[in-house]
């Protein structure tokens, strides 16, 4: 069974946009690439634009599906605040002797299902004893019924969100596969252009990075030769009684005892 591609860790919209820019930048170089690098798979290079567009499409599909679950957070915040208010009202009713102690048992949890259950339980008790409690808490029975309706709708939204998350598996797999294909073309172009423009040291102008930041600047030949000509912190020469003429020759032949690591 084929392994599912991993989810992209980059910002997909940004990466796909950069890839489309790369495809346009590299188009004028295609003739030179084909002439100088005949073994390169040109179709893989030319597919970058199509693959980047497919990546943008799958990202839009994934975002649209995922956005359907975002409304739960706002509803949960409101429900949490309503639970706090209702808890205060129930506690006051117990202190006044209108409700018996322990009339409602609250979970105190911030789990979505538990919050909804706490709110429904307190609303039920308040409505059942409304004649005695209503005047003390403002006399607005409709407020309590609205909060109970909010809790009921919240439970339905939780079930719908769970179904949406199950449906996310499909768009997520499509997006991951599209990202892998686009990345394959992008990396091949990056390698080819880096080779083709090596002596110009301007590959980054044609293939900007999708990973954020810029490419490291390659050292010029002049700077490299200067560094090699003026080494620093070099160890002092080792002399031996067996050396003659001032040459640094070891007194005994040195034989390595093992292979050199790569």
Identify the pLDDT of residue 246. 45
Contact indicator for 145, 127 with CB cutoff of 8 Å: yes
Q: Identify the residue whose tokens are 């809790």.
A: 151
Of 28-32, 107-111, 177-181, the range with the lowest mean pLDDT is: 107-111
Residues 95-134 as b or e (16 or more Cβ within 10 Å = b): eeeebeeebbebeeeeebeebbbbbbbbbebbeeeeeebe
In this predicted structure, the answer to whether residue 170 has a pLDDT above a threshold of 70 is yes
In this predicted structure, the answer to whether residue 49 has a pLDDT above a threshold of 70 is yes
52 in any annotated domain: yes
CA 203/CA 199 separation, integer angstroms? 10
Give the range with max mean pLDDT: 9-18, 124-133, 178-187: 178-187
Asked which of 118, 136, 166 is the last residue of a domain, the reply is 166
227 in any annotated domain: no
Identify the pLDDT of residue 67. 66
Of 31-35, 130-134, 227-231, the range with the lowest mean pLDDT is: 227-231
Total domain count for the chain? 2
Average pLDDT, integer, range 226-248:
46
Confidence of residue 148 (pLDDT cuts 50, 70, 90): very high
**Percent of the chain clearing pLDDT 70 (strictly above):** 73
Identify the pLDDT of residue 256. 41
178 in any annotated domain: yes
- Both 160 and 182 in one domain: the answer is no
228 in any annotated domain: no
- Both 79 and 126 in one domain: the answer is yes
- Both 135 and 81 in one domain: the answer is yes
Of 35-49, 96-110, 158-172, the range with the lowest mean pLDDT is: 158-172
- Both 159 and 173 in one domain: the answer is no
- Both 150 and 77 in one domain: the answer is yes
Which of the pair, 203 or 171, is modelled with greater confidence? 203
| Predicted TM-score of the model (pTM) | 0.51
**Percent of the chain clearing pLDDT 90 (strictly above):** 44
Q: What are the Cα distances from residue 53, in Å, to 175, 190, 245?
A: 11, 18, 71
**What range does the domain containing 196 cover?**
12-68+169-206
- Both 83 and 150 in one domain: the answer is yes
- Both 30 and 49 in one domain: the answer is yes
Average pLDDT, integer, range 116-133:
91
In this predicted structure, the answer to whether residue 234 has a pLDDT above a threshold of 90 is no
Identify the pLDDT of residue 242. 43
CA 218/CA 211 separation, integer angstroms? 18
Of 16-20, 159-163, 193-197, the range with the lowest mean pLDDT is: 159-163
Q: What is the DSSP string of the chain?
A: -PPPPPPP-S-HHHHHHHHHHHHHHHGGGHHHHHHH-TTS-HHHHHTHHHHHHHHHHHHHHHHHHHHTTTHHHHHHHHHHHHHHHHHHHHHHHHHTTSS-TTSS------SHHHHHHHHHHHHHHHHHTHHHHGGGGTS-HHHHHHHHHHHHHHHHHHHHHHHHHHHTHHHHHHHHHHHHHHHHHHHHHHHHHHHHTTTTT-HHHHS--SSSS-PPPPPPHHHHHHHHHS--SPPPPP--TT--TT----SS----SSPPP-
- Both 162 and 84 in one domain: the answer is yes
């Amino acid at each position: 069974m084929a392994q599912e591609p991993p989810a992209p860790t980059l910002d997909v919209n940004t990466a796909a946009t950069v890839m489309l820019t790369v495809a346009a930048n590299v188009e004028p170089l295609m003739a030179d690439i084909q002439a100088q690098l005949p073994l390169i798979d040109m179709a893989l290079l030319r597919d970058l634009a199509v693959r980047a567009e497919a990546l943008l499409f799958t990202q839009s599909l994934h975002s649209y599906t995922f956005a359907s679950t975002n409304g739960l957070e706002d509803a949960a915040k409101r429900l949490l605040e309503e639970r706090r208010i209702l808890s205060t009202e129930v506690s006051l009713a117990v202190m006044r002797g209108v409700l018996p102690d322990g009339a409602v048992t609250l979970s105190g949890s911030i789990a979505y299902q538990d919050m909804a259950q706490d709110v429904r339980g307190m609303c039920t008790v308040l409505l059942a004893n409304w004649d005695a409690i209503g005047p003390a808490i403002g006399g607005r029975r409709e407020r309590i019924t609205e909060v109970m309706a909010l809790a009921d709708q919240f439970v339905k939204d939780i079930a719908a969100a769970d179904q949406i998350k199950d449906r996310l598996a499909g768009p997520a797999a499509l997006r991951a596969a599209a990202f892998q294909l686009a990345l394959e073309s992008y990396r091949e172009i990056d390698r080819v252009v880096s080779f083709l423009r090596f002596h110009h040291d301007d590959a980054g102008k044609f293939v900007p990075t999708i990973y954020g930041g810029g490419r490291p600047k390659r050292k010029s030949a002049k700077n490299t030769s200067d560094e090699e000509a003026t080494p620093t912190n070099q160890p002092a020469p080792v002399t031996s009684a067996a050396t003659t003429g001032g040459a640094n020759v070891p007194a005994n032949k040195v034989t390595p005892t093992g292979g050199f690591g790569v």
